[in-house]
Structure 1
Amino acid sequence: MSAEPFVLSRILSGHEQDVRGVSSVQVDHTFLAITSSRDRSIRLWDPITGSEVKRLYGHNHYVGVVMALPDSPLFPFKGFVSGGNDHIINVWDINREDPVYTLIGHSNVISCLSTTIDHHIISGSWDKTVRIWDGNKCVSTLEGHEQAVWGVLGLPNGDIVTASADKTIKIWRDGGCIKTLGRHTEVVKGLALVGNLGFASCSNDGVVLVWTYDGELVQECHGPDTFLYTVAAKSDGTEIASGGEDRTVRVWRGQECVQTIAHPAAVWSVTFLPNGDLLTGGSDGVARIFTREGARKAGEEVISTYEASLSSQSLPPGSVGELNTDKLAGKEALNIPGNKEGEIKMVKDGADVTVYSWNGAKGQWNKIGTVTDAKSGQAKQLLAGKEYDYIWDVDVGDGVMRKLGHNKTDNPYVTAQDFLDKNDMSRNLLEQVAQFIIKNGEPITLGAPSTTGPMDHLTGHSAYTTQTARELAEQEARVRFPPRRNFKYFPTDNAIYFDSGNFSQIQNKMFEFNSQVPSQLALDEEEKKNVSSIFSTLSNTSRYHATEFSAKEFKTLKKALTWPPNFIFPVLDLLRLFLSHPDGANHMVKDKTNDTFAVLQLNLLSETAANQTLSLRSLSNLFKWTDSREKILQPKSTEIVQAISPLISSPNKNVRLTAVSVLYNFSIGDVKVESGTKKEEVTCLLQSIGNEADPEVLLRSLVALANLTYKDSSVANLARDQDVVKTLEGRVSGQQDKSLESASPNDLEWFRTNYPEAGKGKQSSFRRLMSIYKLVLVGLGGVGKSCLTIRFISQRFVEEYDPTLEDSYRKQVNVDGEECILDIFDTAGQEDFSAVRDQYMRTGDGFLCVYSITYSVSFQEVESLHDHILRVKDTEKVPFVLVGNKCDLESDREVPREKGEETAKKIGCKFMESSAKTKVNVTEAFHELVREIKRWKKDYGHTEEEKEVAPGTPKKKSKCSLI
């Protein structure tokens, strides 16, 4: 007797992004459903009511996988395990708010979890390894896969099975691979235990295979040609469920598909619950439970609404097979029963093509959607449940292939930015991704072709732009594609924020000053606790969207903001960070007194550069949130710009840079300002452009001006009225043009095109572009990386907290007769944020590894840091200089110089000892690293294109490599 079909039971709504992992944990005589999401949360649900029971945060990146823990003496609690894109694994007790402990060891995304027969946790990662854990200690590492590991499974006989993007499955015993299975033709994405029979595997080839424990193939389940992401089996092995890109879960009994359960989005994960129900997680951010038990079925109204939403879906032709509308029958074809469960049939329904799926249990055809673009036959493709004209594989050089979807009617820059945000990648890659889209995607033409060339806003002359940009501008004034040229810096929609800081140093300085301010202004013990609570909330960045500040905490911050000017700078630094939190900005928005804004205005007039800088940075952070933009910055824009005007000529570079940064943020256009204010902005920017000597400040001013004039023709007229050409003439044609040389050639050519009077006869000056080298400082905290950097940048030694310090710097230098720009990234304070540190590593040209000769533990980390860099860069050698810092403290030495020399020889790098305090080998260290980079480029050239393609998905014809 055939089983009843699964029907909808509960819809678990609440996640803000894709539900990537699903599981369940037994509690007393019932159980809780578990879901993990790209919104960085893990949620526990009551499967009977569908209500959320608990929400947990413990990862600072996407949470991709969850797994219930077995009952075992190793885990004396009811719990589960989670793995995320932050490379860590958290072990949870369901009765606690924080992880019991964390497993650290993988160097890339955690993609899968399981347990051994003796209940040890098994983890698989994109770093191509599998690890076995005893408590929080890694006791074994399995290496052998050539690409990312996507599945792990502990077998009842003690063996371990792994699945990989290298299209193979491996069986391991006693730490060694005993068999490799290569039957799948694409990436193998999931594994599941199938009772006493063996295990199942699913793949992007659309096939579910069932194997014995020894690796003998015993069953093949062939469905449609789609990517399969997940597979699960009932505990007795009688049924298997698979889910994937085609928005369905298929239930298999033997080789037969007995039911196809349609979903409104791609299915990332599926599991059988203890009561036999199915739990699924989708790319629409929703988890769903399906049941065969009548008592647990959803109400008829809920089911009808759900089925109606499915039947109203728009489906791309490519998702349902080859489409030839001329040969399609009408709806009378639905009178003929289907041959098998899930069979697809397309019929003509008037001018539309409607898709039906055969429901064998009910003996009827169920409508699952209407084909889009049926008349043209132009096939769209599915990605994460969404339809795209183009889907490309993108290699960012970290061994992971990511999919980029784009539609012809979309703005390439918007698509590129969404892609970077989704994958947590540097905004510096925006232009490269956008240009790849423009080059490989054919934009749709809207309206009739233009018969006249485009007019440049700044000069009135014709300017180069794409026909697509012209036509889209005529259709939609706010949507304009940039020219098909590699403009490196503009136009941009990326505001500048100042949201990083050393929380402990700021807090310590506040408490130090608290004992020195007048007694009536000092914070009492309860208020100091409020300050500590603010810092605690700010330090947990992964929960910014879920945490709030109390009214008492904000009141305490406002009290501290009344401190005298010589004591207020750490409070202003706290305010800067406070406003980078959504609820912090919300408190300022709701503050009817405007006291906080008044403090910022007052400190812009301060004689202390630090106070001015931090006030400007606080204003910059207000651009981060919609409410603060609309309710503070917009009505106060004129006052802000007027207050900034005198700071443009400040003798302090940090003040000038942050002042220009605020103007830069205004130039993006998210804050609506009146024409009079725009005129003030142009005046300030032209003042900066005309007088600025620092390359970074000048470049930011130029980009802000270009942004303003590019987006608004009225601003271009204002610029012309203020003799913009005369101001620019000296910067792009005279002796000072080196200040612009960090821009790309097309950036400089844009200025020349838009200001034709400037730089006549000086064409060659635009070709003298300096090399830019990205240097990354690595090492444990406290070894003096920041002190070395500051000594090199500004020739001063800093022992205590300085609120003006950044974690990235730029300096123009001359190394062996070559003028070059050094972009220096100091990873100080980032040791606990591996994703941030790894991003620096991926983009760095060379690495200055610093340890302290007075701290042996920092020296012991050198080799592991070097190895980690090689893994992140996916290479065998990188430009690397080892520096033993604090050589002025000889009496405290713990690391002999000979040890440093020995390690450097082993690694194959240069070595020297330095002292930021006495300025020993500071400049030499940075210059030597530049020499190493130049030697490396000469010896190895640009070989990134030779890297292996990815752990990930199948190759496509077009690939974008971001180096």
Structure 2
Amino acid sequence: MTYKLSATLEAHTSDVRAVASPTNEVVLSASRDSTAISWQRQTGSAAFQQDSVFRAGTRYVNAVAHLVGDAGSKGFVVTGGQEAIVNVFSLDVTKDEPDYSLVGHSENICALDTTPGGAIISGSWDNTAKVWKNWQLKYDLRGHERSVWAVLGVDEEKTLTGSADKTIKLWEQHKCIATFTGHTDAVRGLALVPDIGFASCSNDSEIRVWTLGGDLIYSLSGHTSFVYSLSVLPTGDIVSSGEDRSVRVWKDGECSQVITIPAISVWAVSSMPNGDIVAGSSDGVVRVFSASEERWAVQEELKAYEDLVASQALPKEQIGDLKTTDLAGPEALQKPGNKPGQVLMVKNGDRTEAHQWDAASSSWQKIGEVVDAVGQGRRQLYEGKEYDYVFDVDIQDGVPPLKLPYNVTENPYTAAQRFLHRNELPISYLDEVVRFIESNTAGVNLGGGEEFVDPFTGASRYRSTAPSGPSAQTSGYSDPFTGGSRYQPAAPVQQGGNDVYQDPFTGASRYSGGAPSYSAPAPSVPKILPATQLVSFKQANVSAMEGKLKQFDDILKNEITTSSLAIYPSEASAIGEIFLYLLSVTPTTTGPSILSTTHAEALISILNRWPPAYVFPVIDLARLFAGFCGDVLATSNELQSQFIAALEQACDLPGKKLQGSTAKVRETNILLALRALANLVGSVGGGTDDGPLFGGVAETLARGSPGTLGKQQKIALASVLFNLSCLPALNQEQREQIVILALPFLATQDNDGEAVYRALVALGNTLLGLKNNGAKSMNADAILGTISPLPQTLPEARIKNIVEEIKRL
């Protein structure tokens, strides 16, 4: 299935920041030209024509959504932008003024979504999201620390929000019931994924797919810059767009096609019910792509589009460092690419060309020529907002620099005043700050039709007409590609015969006279060991888990070949009671449960016989059972052994039974099983006889291969090790076994600080226990050889501190 250009929608005069496609015949778009447009498909054609234009103000429109109306109605178009007002226009009768205006946000509205029940959800730079119903505010969602850039209605009572604070939050009515962490930069888009949960995208270039219970199913890597928008196709495949000029289609966890757009930023993407893709970009154009040949544009239009893509100039900073003398010539294009979207640079005469592998046509497609450019390859974030520059301003030696954000479209005096006021610096230094800004943004050209402005902030892409650099007036360094600069203060000045340091902004002196007579001692690092606070994995969306388990049970039940695997009536009763109990507890619940060994046995039986592709909700249920019903499992060593064996059977930890499953399925099952083991140790451990529990869990871990695990799985495995190290009645042999498990795990880790830290604390707890009990030391050389390099490969203070504490043991 290959997507090709179907239609080109041109009327906007600036960036198209948002698109929506509620039907196969209607497309909605919003632009920084202060308008939203409704487009209607022409009868019997793939082409669209402008139907209605909506304008509620003079400032940028950044978000658009469709709201269902009464029967027979076309519904409403909902817009939001820099006016900080949610405006609602009827699609039935076009009017100059909105039918409804929802007032409540205090800053730019950058995200909108609606629900089938008629609710409107808005996200804003004011760090809040709001849910509106019947044109009134229903819920105010407060909890994010930065701008809310993505909103998604899960159902009529649950909402997801993504923020520049790098987190995603799940809300039930106005209460936050879960926070998802994992992205390392601002979260920009959210989309529901059928039968799984949802997907998120971020400025960290990653797409992540989650369950609503908080489990990361998998990550999609391929974009080379910010990922701005997500949508899900009717097939369940994911489509994304971003700052790397591309729309990407993802199938079964892999990128199946890259559609290159002849623009700098592909701000938004949406999917039609028929599977067509709508994209809005910084060249002011809305484009529709289709996998159906009958809706493809005519051959002449397709050729013109390919030529437009090939004619684009790509700044070097978008490609990375290039040593053109080392590039191969056009003959390199005779060799096929390795994957869709692979980019190959070739030297063609005095030109450097970028070609991208198109798997559908098995050929290299030229996507542009690489040119020198001055400017930054990626917009910079500061406090959740985007800027062309974020300067570091050193005002005093030994003091962290102050941040000076600046957009090339704003008055330097305005930015300077904002900076001085924010940092309580005297206004008398206004001119000096302005000179600093001007000297480090010299030569920026804002004219010309090819320049586009960020509809959030006014931040511009640009090509310089003159080299950018520090002026003679400023002792600062200016990076010719990013504009990044550090301002160095003036040298100490003479006052009254004494050497006095003077702050160039405030005039304040940090010291005078001779050297200080007192030096404060370095702060002591608090001891970490012993660490005894167990970790657990108890967050979950129980209702969604129950629905998924029932769905898979129906599938098994209705197939002749698998009907014998379906849940038995007696098991169904027990499983229903488990879910009923879990709906009544919270992650902090402690104390005896109301369930019995009958419930545990039913769970174990299903774990043992369900096929890998369907068993993950059962493993997830076992995770919660282990966390909340440890008293039931603690009643019998035999029951614990059966529970551990069933988890190992279900997730196939040794990797011998992959029939009917995929690598992604197995990864998910292993993740949930490891979390179940962590909960099991945490809730059952602590008795006078933990031997059977310890032995079963340790043996299961020993059969795994830590080097093949993903990030979340490594964290889960390290959590199991940590919880084992906290068991109070460990003997020397058991402690030595933890060391034997921890060292190979640590030897394979070089990129995940959280997993390494948890494993190091487990090792430290264990060695401290050995020392306190007078046990003979283990192989110190092997331990030191494993842990000593870790602070260099993972330069985190906590890693360094725990390694030093272990060394002292």
TM-score norm. by structure 2 comes to 0.49
TM-score norm. by structure 1 comes to 0.41
Per chain length, whose mean CA-contact separation is higher, i.e. which structure has more relative contact order (CA < 8 Å, sep 6+)? 1
Bigger fraction of residues in helix: 1
